[in-house]
């Protein structure tokens, strides 16, 4: 939990292990409490979380940044304060809202260098907006280092997702090691995704130094919904959400 | 000519035309609305009233003058319905601040403008969210359902703004005008906002940019007409000459 009381989850893992589904399920689970507000941030350039949550993801922070940079290159000027206010306005306008849930797509990760002032302002703005929510769920890229760093600085709970593959577990170990240096989170853990039963899990070498929070079942319901282009709110899978609840208990949620 | 002489005159004409409509006048109160404790977002789901923003006409600007008698200190004017009457709606919105200033000159006007412009963003009122766009010269305000129920009004908002301006030692008076009556009324204020912004941009450019080529500058007409801009330009030219002279020594 950060100084404003916001709990910020970052969900990371090797590509293809189902971290977007886990992020979406986590968002739905947290938002089920109508008294709580949830901001889902899609930091994966593919913007899969938008579809998984039933949003469009049509406006991205990257789009805002490029538009601004284009203006600067065409000679538009302005005081830093005006620039910050304009970015704040545009980022807030890019947020899609539905009941107690908000969604923001980052788009492509920022590139440091020529426009570090713009990047820095955007980090501050996203960080400032995120601080207004009870929960923030960030669906990251494979690693976490590309994710908007100001938000990552505020990550309190790191969830690493893997499937049963040795590659997935290996990437999870690496992410946990890199994150421990880069991010000062309070709690971290591993969720193993697409598991049939405890026996199957027992056959896998689990990583050292990263607590296993639990496992989520391979779900025909999820697969069918994905195939139909549905979203997490179309899924009626009690076992999935019960297991997710158990995983989150391991993080003290 | 004073910096906003024309704009103040056009605004006075607008106000005269509005006198026969729904116009309410309040006096600023001592600000007492509780703080938002740093939370500056009101979500759509919790919004009681939305003013301006991406889906409604909006304009916002500030004019200042050194001439006494133009600004009525502490006056809040509302043209159109108040917050409670707008409950559940997104309404067009204009917000105009008029400040009477003392001692603004070519040396300090840029810094003092920035101080005044920043004030709308430091308002920390529970259940009140503001997003402002300098590019669109507009504001996007959300007032939460709880704030509407608890009696948040334009008098509360105007009083908070006036209180902030009053704390600046170079501001001797401040009044605020809100318009919620119609998109047409808000749109009719936009040309004044655009011209005021053009003058502010000219002032900013003179204050911030190192090199000036008046022949190629979009603001040269304004700089030739407005006394303050002329003085800033002359002061900058003097600085350039002095610097050039020193460079040669």
Q: B94 falls in which pLDDT band (50, 70, 90)?
A: very high
Residues of B in CB contact (< 8 Å) with A are 38-41, 43-45, 53-54, 114, 117-118, 121, 131-136, 140, 204-205, 208-209
Q: What pLDDT does A147 receive? A: 45
d(CA B122, CA A19): 39
A186: nearest Cα among A152, A144, A157, A160: A157
d(CA B40, CA A131): 9
Whether B202 has a pLDDT exceeding 60, the answer reads yes
Q: Choose the closest CB to B131 out of A89, A97, A99.
A: A89
User: Any idea which residue has 């203006």 for tokens?
Assistant: A71
Q: What's the average model confidence in pLDDT over A22-42?
A: 95
CA distance A93 to chain B (A): 7
CA distance A31 to chain B (A): 13
d(CA A226, CA A88): 34
**A37 interface with B at CB cutoff 8 Å:** yes
Mutate to test the interface with B, among A55, A78, A82, A128 (most CBs of B within 10 A): A82
Whether B15 has a pLDDT exceeding 50, the answer reads yes
d(CA A106, CA A127): 13
d(CA A49, CA A97): 14
Q: What pLDDT does B241 receive? A: 58
List the beta strands (DSSP E) in chain B.
23-27, 47-52, 58-65, 75-79, 90-91, 93-101, 128-133, 138-144, 171-179
Alpha-carbon distances, residue B94 vs A240, B189, B197 (angstroms): 50, 8, 15
What average pLDDT does chain A have? 84
Residue of A nearest to B44 (CA): A97
Helix (H, G, I), strand (E, B) or coil at B99: strand
Alpha-carbon distances, residue B98 vs A153, B3, B23, B95, B217 (angstroms): 41, 13, 17, 10, 28
Contact state of B45 with A100 under an 8 Å Cβ cutoff: yes
**A70 interface with B at CB cutoff 8 Å:** no
Contact state of A93 with B131 under an 8 Å Cβ cutoff: yes
Between A97 and A73, whose confidence is greater? A97
Q: Choose the closest CB to A85 out of B54, B134, B209.
A: B134
Whether B10 has a pLDDT exceeding 80, the answer reads yes
Q: What pLDDT does A206 receive? A: 85
Whether A111 has a pLDDT exceeding 60, the answer reads no
- Residues with Cβ < 8 Å from B57, sequence gap 6 or more? B92, B93, B183, B186, B187
Whether A113 has a pLDDT exceeding 80, the answer reads no
Instruction: Find how far residue B150's CA is from the centre of its chain.
Output: 26
Whether B115 has a pLDDT exceeding 70, the answer reads yes
CA distance B132 to chain A (A): 6
Q: Please list the residues that pair with B27 across neighbouring strands.
A: B75
Contact state of B132 with A89 under an 8 Å Cβ cutoff: yes
Whether B81 has a pLDDT exceeding 80, the answer reads yes
d(CA B110, CA B91): 33
Q: What are the chain A neighbours of B54 within 8 Å (beta carbons)?
A: 93
Whether B247 has a pLDDT exceeding 50, the answer reads no
Mutate to test the interface with B, among A102, A132, A133, A134 (most CBs of B within 10 A): A132
Query: What percent of chain B shows pLDDT beyond 90?
Result: 61
Residue of B nearest to A86 (CA): B133
Alpha-carbon distances, residue B172 vs B31, B113, B162 (angstroms): 18, 14, 11
Q: What's the average model confidence in pLDDT over B137-150?
A: 95
Q: What's the average model confidence in pLDDT over A56-85?
A: 79
**A221 interface with B at CB cutoff 8 Å:** no
Written as one string, the DSSP assignment of A218-242 is: --HHHHHHHHHT--GGG---HHHHH
Q: What pLDDT does A130 receive? A: 87
Structure tokens at A234: 């179309």
Angle made by CA atoms A67, A73, A77, in degrees to the nearest 5: 90
User: Any idea which residue has 């610097």 for tokens?
Assistant: B243
Q: B52 falls in which pLDDT band (50, 70, 90)?
A: very high
- Residues with Cβ < 8 Å from B88, sequence gap 6 or more? B48, B49
Q: What pLDDT does A182 receive? A: 67
Whether A151 has a pLDDT exceeding 70, the answer reads no
What kind and span of H or E run contains B204? helix B183-208
Q: Choose the closest CB to B114 out of A81, A98, A99.
A: A81
Q: What are the chain A neighbours of B140 within 8 Å (beta carbons)?
A: 89, 92-93
- On whether ipTM exceeds 0.95, the answer is no
Q: What's the average model confidence in pLDDT over A17-25?
A: 94
Q: A116 falls in which pLDDT band (50, 70, 90)?
A: low
Question: For the ranges A105-119, A194-208, B40-54, B63-77, which has the lowest average pLDDT?
Answer: A105-119
Q: What pLDDT does B14 receive? A: 97
Q: Choose the closest CB to B44 out of A78, A86, A97.
A: A97
List the 3-32 stretch of A: residues with Cβ below 8 A of B.
4
Q: What pLDDT does A214 receive? A: 94
């Amino acid at each position: 939990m950060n100084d404003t009381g916001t709990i910020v989850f970052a969900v990371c893992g090797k590509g293809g292990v189902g971290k977007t589904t886990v992020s979406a399920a986590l968002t739905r689970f947290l938002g089920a409490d109508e008294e709580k507000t949830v901001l889902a941030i899609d930091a994966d350039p593919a913007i899969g979380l938008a579809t998984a949550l039933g949003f469009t993801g049509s406006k991205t922070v990257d789009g805002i940044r490029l538009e601004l940079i284009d203006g600067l290159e065409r000679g538009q000027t302005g005081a830093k304060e005006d620039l910050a206010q304009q970015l704040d306005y545009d980022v807030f306008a890019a947020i899609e809202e539905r009941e107690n849930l908000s969604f923001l797509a980052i788009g492509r990760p920022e590139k440091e260098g020529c426009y570090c002032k713009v990047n820095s302002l955007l980090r501050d703005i996203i960080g400032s907006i995120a601080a207004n929510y009870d929960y923030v769920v960030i669906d990251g890229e494979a690693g976490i280092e590309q994710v908007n760093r100001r938000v990552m600085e505020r990550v309190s709970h790191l969830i690493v997702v893997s499937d049963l593959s040795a590659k997935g577990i290996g990437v999870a170990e690496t992410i946990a090691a890199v994150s421990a240096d880069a991010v000062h989170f309070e709690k971290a853990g591993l969720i193993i995704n697409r598991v049939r039963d405890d026996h199957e899990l027992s056959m896998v070498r689990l990583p050292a130094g990263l607590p296993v929070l639990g496992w989520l079942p391979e779900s025909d319901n999820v697969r069918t919904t994905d195939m139909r282009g549905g979203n997490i709110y179309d899924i009626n899978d009690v076992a999935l959400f019960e297991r997710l609840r158990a995983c989150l208990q391991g993080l003290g949620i | 000519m004073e910096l906003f002489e024309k704009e103040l005159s056009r605004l006075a004409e607008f106000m005269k035309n509005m006198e026969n409509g729904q116009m309410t006048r309040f006096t600023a109160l001592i600000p007492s609305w509780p703080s938002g404790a740093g939370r500056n977002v009101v979500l759509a789901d919790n919004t009681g009233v939305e003013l301006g923003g991406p889906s409604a006409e909006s304009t916002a600007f500030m004019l200042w003058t050194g001439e006494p008698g133009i600004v009525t200190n502490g006056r809040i004017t509302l043209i159109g319905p108040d917050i409670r009457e707008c409950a559940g709606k997104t309404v067009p919105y204009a917000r105009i601040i008029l400040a009477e200033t003392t001692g603004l000159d070519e040396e300090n006007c840029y810094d003092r403008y920035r101080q005044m412009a920043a004030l709308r963003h430091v308002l920390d009122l529970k259940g009140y969210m503001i997003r402002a766009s300098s590019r669109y010269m507009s504001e996007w305000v959300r007032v939460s359902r709880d704030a509407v129920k608890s009696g948040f009004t334009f008098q509360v908002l105007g009083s908070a703004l006036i209180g902030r301006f009053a704390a600046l030692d170079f501001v001797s008076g401040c009044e605020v005008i809100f318009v919620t009556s119609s998109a047409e009324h808000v749109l009719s204020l936009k040309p004044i906002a655009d011209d005021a912004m053009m003058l502010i941009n000219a002032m900013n450019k003179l204050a911030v940019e190192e090199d000036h080529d008046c022949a190629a500058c979009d603001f040269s007409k304004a700089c030739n007409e407005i006394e303050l801009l002329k003085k800033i330009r002359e002061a900058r030219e003097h600085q350039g000459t002095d610097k050039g002279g020193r460079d040669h020594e």
